[in-house]
Structure 1
């Protein structure tokens, strides 16, 4: 099996139609020979890491180079659905089943903190990235699945789940009216944001470059040495020669195992498809953002975000290709489309959204993105085991926007200040390590025969 690696001639997302001056920037004609820190990846994680590594550094400003295989912010962040959407209930319920109430709560609260941190950064620096506060929803149209999620809701409202205070549940009498989703049987609404992700990241990246970070785009890294040299430097082999660094950060998300094979079981690429549709006649949508679920508690068919110009950015179309795993599972080709999804997008608004019936919808643009799926549904943050000086910030499950900023801040504290993971504010379950990788590999190797998750009702009674 070929290792995951960014491919040439990627599809062009809507977010990359107004390119920043640093999109294909190289700060110097040649690569620096030695650096204190090299960050691999110039997406949200790489840009945010550079920002925080420069803050209040106790030993003076470190020398930092960012290496990017293609253009800046050309990976997952520049190809997503344009949401800043912490999951306050549905993923909380799924994680609660898998990892327990305490862990689920810590992740949900952390995502809310990330959303607030991004919004505060945008306001403080007046970042022109179309950030809009919206009401979002998780909506179920299948009666049986709606009944399942309602049972989960009834259990969880009796527990100590801080983020549920921000969620409103609407039953069959009100769900369609509130969300505008046809035949909605139940819906959960809560506050979120939409934005232009590329513009946010490029603003952060530009700030880092102004402060001395050396950005090198179109410089793929082919290999990182297995050990540091006698002076403590790791050697990175690139398309443009060798660069050495005392510390290396893998902000490589879906492509992580291409350079760190020990993460092959833990983080793998998964293709997704997103589009922008423009109605011929302007149509109002009830909500600024919405996801239509196909299974309880956490499986989305399509989701949309409303743009200020009246268009919709729609992602998913999962029902059209989910059973054809070769089209998405461990597939890292974003130069081609998931073809079964393409004809589904223009007809989906008319089928799913009230008021869109019979309206001609132009498919303005459709693109592919490569997500970094984590085998245990949790990002990997922290030092790479047995390789002192190597760090990872990856595996965001297509849910990086409400996670990355504070993960990067926490990891920067570890790299810059020697801060222990427990004091970074990052959820404990995000910490990477040898034991976690071992458990993932062991689980992956086990026979998948009637593998069942513990039922929430066995763990939490109505009287809790």
Structure 2
């Protein structure tokens, strides 16, 4: 068993500081003796998978969701609330690796996630402060702005339909005027969203519980999974054993605690995030901010930002400030301790970054850290765990899970349901980009290469992608997912 288990006495984020009714929920006083499916993890991936099993898979009638701590107390309850597809950030890298068609498939899958989440929130009437607006990218470094311009022109040249939604300017005066960011050298924008992620997850789980098919058990760490050909799987927890036919690992950065083969494939890394607000009673209100942001300052330090409907700001990132201090964040799952090298970076951030904020009294009201799962090749692992029949994985989202997990979980539910019925469907039929499939080749690639050659991407921007290993690109042309629309 790995050392990567959640710790206690964690720092609370702004999203989870106020208690919610499912935080410490236990549907039954004791664990169920057996069920069709056990889902380990009650964050975004676990809740979304449970929801899709309930809605789309009537052949599965008993699901247990086990959470080591409180509901949504992990990365989902600590992120930036940014529902932002990647249209051109990492996509050029994927074009170089896999070609335009497959890279576009990833981008359009993320866009489809955003709209599918919006539809679900509206249909289910989940109160989670979902707002769609423009997301503005800003570059304040001259060389970075030039590179951004080259990337934009490159992406436009592919004649991708989704690029019609992108605005870009390389004129510094226009960039600063449009974004409001001091010293902006280039700016771009496209449609994205923001939400209260913990409320979204609680809303999904309420729907699951109301179905009568789901049993949620919080504060129940899973310590071991014993495979038994006669009974399926014995899930050993601190509170007893559950027998289950199928097991879904939805623990992201903690996944190697139960699946040690992923120790070099999905690496836990801490990030930093905070809430900034004007103190109550202040005579200097904060200027209105209507857009979400990704800002790369003059020193190329990346920050992501969303405005909340209550007037506060959520901002995080700053990885370049703490990247050299690896022991504080790399393979570190202690979210009870801030990353010391960056804890002061966001003090005065709004005043020094945005025009018209200089006189604002806005200050940090909450600051926290969270554990993300960064995969070696920068893509999530979704599907059957190689070599473990009846076990599935939904993890490794690289700090970018918000626009990936929803439809990824829907596809995984389809795979689990088919397996439960004894049917075989291809991964491509799941609707998930084939590059995300959990395979032994991906595990081997990480195990056979130096750890520092991995691609830790996402909002952290800690490492840039390195050379492509051709063995990663296996049977990619068999992908039949419907999201690639490059002409």
Is the alpha carbon distance of 1:52 and 1:292 closer, same or farther for their aligned partners in structure 2, counting shifts above 3 Å? Answer: same
Q: Distance in 2 between matches of 1:6 and 1:252?
A: 10
Residue of structure 1 in register with 2:354 after alignment: 353
Residue of structure 2 in register with 1:31 after alignment: 31
Q: Secondary structure at the match of 1:110?
A: helix
Residue of structure 1 in register with 2:152 after alignment: 153
Query: Across the two proteins, how many residue pairs are aligned to each other?
Result: 449
Is the alpha carbon distance of 1:294 and 1:283 closer, same or farther for their aligned partners in structure 2, counting shifts above 3 Å? Answer: closer
Residue of structure 2 in register with 1:283 after alignment: 286
Q: Secondary structure at the match of 1:15?
A: coil
Q: Distance in 2 between matches of 1:155 and 1:108?
A: 15
Contact (CA 8 Å) 2:140, 2:298: kept in 1 or not?
no
Consecutive unaligned residues in structure 2, runs of 5 or more: 420-424, 455-463, 469-486
Q: Distance in 1 between matches of 2:17 and 2:388?
A: 40
Residue of structure 1 in register with 2:458 after alignment: none
Q: Secondary structure at the match of 1:336?
A: coil
Is the alpha carbon distance of 1:265 and 1:400 closer, same or farther for their aligned partners in structure 2, counting shifts above 3 Å? Answer: same
Q: For each residue in 1:315-335, what CA deviation from the matched residue of structure 2 results, as whole angstroms up to 9, or x when unmatched?
A: 112232122122111111101
Residue of structure 2 in register with 1:19 after alignment: 19
Is the alpha carbon distance of 1:303 and 1:195 closer, same or farther for their aligned partners in structure 2, counting shifts above 3 Å? Answer: same
Q: Secondary structure at the match of 1:429?
A: helix
Residue of structure 2 in register with 1:387 after alignment: 388
Q: Distance in 1 between matches of 2:234 and 2:349?
A: 49
Q: Distance in 2 between matches of 1:98 and 1:371?
A: 24
Between 1:196-205 and 1:170-179, the stretch displaced more is: 170-179
Q: For each residue in 1:410-440, what CA deviation from the matched residue of structure 2 results, as whole angstroms up to 9, or x when unmatched?
A: 0000011244211111111000111121122
The one of 295, 301, 317 equivalent to 1:292 is: 295
Q: Secondary structure at the match of 1:215?
A: strand
Q: Distance in 2 between matches of 1:232 and 1:411?
A: 23
Contact (CA 8 Å) 1:283, 1:356: kept in 2 or not?
yes
Q: CA RMSD in A?
A: 2.2
Residue of structure 1 in register with 2:441 after alignment: 435
1:213-292 correspondence to structure 2 within 5 Å: 213-225=214-226, 228-279=227-278, 280=282, 281-292=284-295
Is the alpha carbon distance of 1:412 and 1:382 closer, same or farther for their aligned partners in structure 2, counting shifts above 3 Å? Answer: same
The one of 424, 428, 431 equivalent to 1:422 is: 428
Residue of structure 2 in register with 1:96 after alignment: 95
User: Normalising by structure 1, what TM-score?
Assistant: 0.92
Q: Give 1:193 deviation, angstroms.
A: 0.9
Q: For each residue in 1:123-160, what CA deviation from the matched residue of structure 2 results, as whole angstroms up to 9, or x when unmatched?
A: 11221111111111121100011111211222221114
Q: Distance in 1 between matches of 2:65 and 2:332?
A: 25
Q: For each residue in 1:267-287, what CA deviation from the matched residue of structure 2 results, as whole angstroms up to 9, or x when unmatched?
A: 011101111011352222554
Contact (CA 8 Å) 1:381, 1:393: kept in 2 or not?
yes
Q: Distance in 2 between matches of 1:66 and 1:329?
A: 28
Q: Give 1:94 deviation, angstroms.
A: 3.0
Is the alpha carbon distance of 1:446 and 1:113 closer, same or farther for their aligned partners in structure 2, counting shifts above 3 Å? Answer: closer
Contact (CA 8 Å) 1:317, 1:344: kept in 2 or not?
yes
Q: Distance in 1 between matches of 2:358 and 2:56?
A: 55
Contact (CA 8 Å) 1:88, 1:166: kept in 2 or not?
no
